[in-house]
Structure 1
Amino acid sequence: MNDSPGWASPGSAPSGGQDSASGTPRPAGPAAEQGTGATWSSEQPPPGQWSAPSGQSAPPPPPAPGWGGGHPHGAWGRPPAAKPGVIPLRPLGVGEILDGAVSTLRAHWRTVLGITITVSVITQIANILVERYALPEPPAVNPNPTPSEAIDQSIESLQYSLTSLGPALFITLIGTLFTTALLTVVVSRSVLGRPVTLTDAWHEARPRLPQLLGLTMLLPLMSAGIMAVGLLPGLLLGDGSGVLLTMLGGIAAVVVILWLVVRFALASPALMLERQGVIPSLRRSAKLVRGTWWRVFGILLLTMALLFVISLIIIVPFVVIALMADSNGFGDLLNGSDPQFGWAYLIITGIGSVIASAITYPISAGVTVLLYIDQRIRREALDLELARAAGVPGYGSEPPGGSDASGS
């Protein structure tokens, strides 16, 4: 794979499009230490290991120490894979990816919580202020409308929902932009076992923010365009068959969007860690996901389900406390009318959202980055490059630039 970019941890230069496995020094084996001549291979078979005359082959020679530990194409008693950081440098299981994300949160909790709490507090304050002062009043609802009034009320309610949802989505996208950029740096350092501060993460992530912003905005716009194409024919038709066509078009659009979301799920770590542009990052993600779409989909779905449960466990008690503190809004809910919540409800639920985001953001970002690293280990033997960058004995020396290439 000569078109595979190399491992570019934060602080290093682009790889120039070379294969990550090519040019990587292999771990020194015992034969390399016995002074063999230059014309001899450094990996000689041990004596007595040739095939028996009966045709039964003897066990293959043991690999050199540290050589690609954990790779599925050979595991005859080889030693455990190197683990300089939060994950072993070999193909990862689902549990190891989740454990690596949580281990990053534990190992760098000051940096991670500093990032997530800061971003979450700012986004929550912005959402509360927009909801309190910038959004229009909800439309009045007639409890006994005529058929034409019911249609008008539905249209007004839809317009109000879209108007109120737009600012919140934009604020969330901006918050996700910063957390993704900074946490990608933190996770990449934790894989190498390197320390990282909030200042280090910001210094490394800042040059990539414009490209990451373009990627962050492009994917929702792409999804909206696909949904519009799916719904538009049925909406233009307008009669009973148009409703059916709208439903079928919407289902087809959702399927296409889901397929693209998984296909491009690894674009952000590719953009950050390989110094790629927006479109090359999308292509890079599609290449890494190709042939393993269902595995990537399953891991992302499992992660979303776990984070949803964690968020509910954290947020529900705050919502209950907020409803008890805001008796007017709670009374509106009991009466079936549109609730008008006050400052107490907004502040208490905002605190719960900040706490939930501070925990779920780093796990989500960690899973995405570790899934990207896992795919490159499986396809491109990135574990060898990572072991070399981490200074694991037997994997060669640092690349030109010394410690800068590994982000220290």
Structure 2
Amino acid sequence: MNERNDLVQSDNDETTSTPLQPMSFVDILDGMFSLYRSHWTLFLGITVVYFILVYVMDMIALFMLVNAAPSTTIIVGLLAALGSYVVIFWVVAGLVYASAHVYLNRDLTSQAALQQGWRRFWSYIGSTTLWLLVVCALFVTVIGIPFSIYFGVRWGLYGLPVMFEGTTARNALRRSTELVKGTWWRVFGIMLAIFLISIMIQFIFQTSFLLLAQVSGTEETSLWQTFRRLFFPAMHEIEWRSYAIQRFVIIGIAALTMPLNAIGSALLYFDLRIRKEAFDIEMQVTE
């Protein structure tokens, strides 16, 4: 029980004005946008780190591709990819941590969220790796796809226990199982909706940029080729300045939409805790 109570902060002079109550499907989706809108400076202050670092690494890899020997290019490309994944996991961990504090109406800075994300980085990486290994291993067998989806949802809330309950990677999966148990279909529906909304918003922004580039561009290409170059850009097919601008836009759009999944997961996590563990009463007693 001590692990679960780690979410309650020691500074009891802070109170929570956000109503702690069970949320419906619509409440969670609406709350996802409401919290993002009311705390956009906090979330964008976190994702700007992703935008800057990943774009810089992308441009370094681009420079090496244009000017360096092929063997060097491969090494730099691998290092850039590794560095990008490190930044992504770090920033997502910070977003998850920030989302819980925002829901509980607690003051937090972007810097503090990123610092906590770095402190819990290896535990977060560990739980993500375990989740990916099982889900992907089952998925590639084809016959195991239903089981892949089942465990993907069952363990899908691992980030919150890692970041706020201080659990280990393995215990985070077990903790997620406890919360999802008995409500799998509901959790699946909410997770799917959050994922689709995030993807659709990202797709709309990217497609808008695509159409603008298609209308204003001087190069004659089919719409299909332009789509492919937008979502799967290849340096040898387009001029390097166009590639740099394209990556700037794509990474920027990804940075804008990243907080949605973290906020939605946090709301779902608290909803399950309130329903199953009376977390709202626990908070009132603690305060």
TM normalised by structure 1 equals 0.57
Distance 2:243 2:256 in 1: 20
The answer for the alignment partner of 2:231 in structure 1 is none
Letter in 2 for 1:382: F
Deviations 1:198-230 (A, max 9, x none): 2221333332111111122332233343345x2
Identity %: 27
For the pair 1:348 / 2:239, whether they are aligned, the reply is no
The answer for the alignment partner of 2:70 in structure 1 is none
The count of aligned residue pairs is 268
The answer for the alignment partner of 1:269 in structure 2 is 160
Q: SS at 2:202's partner residue?
A: helix
The answer for the alignment partner of 1:284 in structure 2 is 175
> Whose helix fraction is larger, Structure 1's or Structure 2's?
2
Equivalent residues of 2:46, 2:111 under 8 A apart? no
Alignment of 1:234-313 (within 5 A): 250=142, 252-313=143-204
The answer for the alignment partner of 2:44 in structure 1 is 113
For the pair 1:92 / 2:23, whether they are aligned, the reply is yes
Structure 2, unmatched stretches of 5+, are 67-76, 229-233
Deviations 1:124-168 (A, max 9, x none): 443455467569xxxxxxxxxxxxxxxxxxxxxxxxxxxxx9889
Which protein is bigger by CA-based radius of gyration?
Answer: 1
For the pair 1:190 / 2:188, whether they are aligned, the reply is no
- Aligned-residue Cα RMSD (Å) equals 3.4
Alignment of 1:26-37 (within 5 A): none
Deviations 1:344-385 (A, max 9, x none): 332332233233223321111001111111111100000123
Q: SS at 1:6's partner residue?
A: helix
Equivalent residues of 2:97, 2:160 under 8 A apart? no
Equivalent residues of 1:325, 1:344 under 8 A apart? no
Distance 1:132 1:327 in 2: 24
TM normalised by structure 2 equals 0.79
The answer for the alignment partner of 2:132 in structure 1 is 220
- The 1:170–1:288 alpha-carbon spacing in structure 2 relative to 1, beyond 3 Å, is farther
Distance 2:208 2:110 in 1: 31
The answer for the alignment partner of 1:6 in structure 2 is 4
Distance 1:272 1:134 in 2: 38
Equivalent residues of 1:314, 1:352 under 8 A apart? no
Q: SS at 1:120's partner residue?
A: helix
Distance 1:363 1:302 in 2: 11
User: What is the deviation of 1:267?
Assistant: 0.6
Alignment of 1:2-401 (within 5 A): 5-9=3-7, 84-85=17-18, 88-127=19-58, 129-130=60-61, 133=64, 173-227=85-139, 230=141, 250=142, 252-323=143-214, 327=218, 330=221, 333=225, 340-386=237-283, 388=284, 396=285, 398=287
Distance 2:8 2:97 in 1: 6
Distance 1:183 1:328 in 2: 40
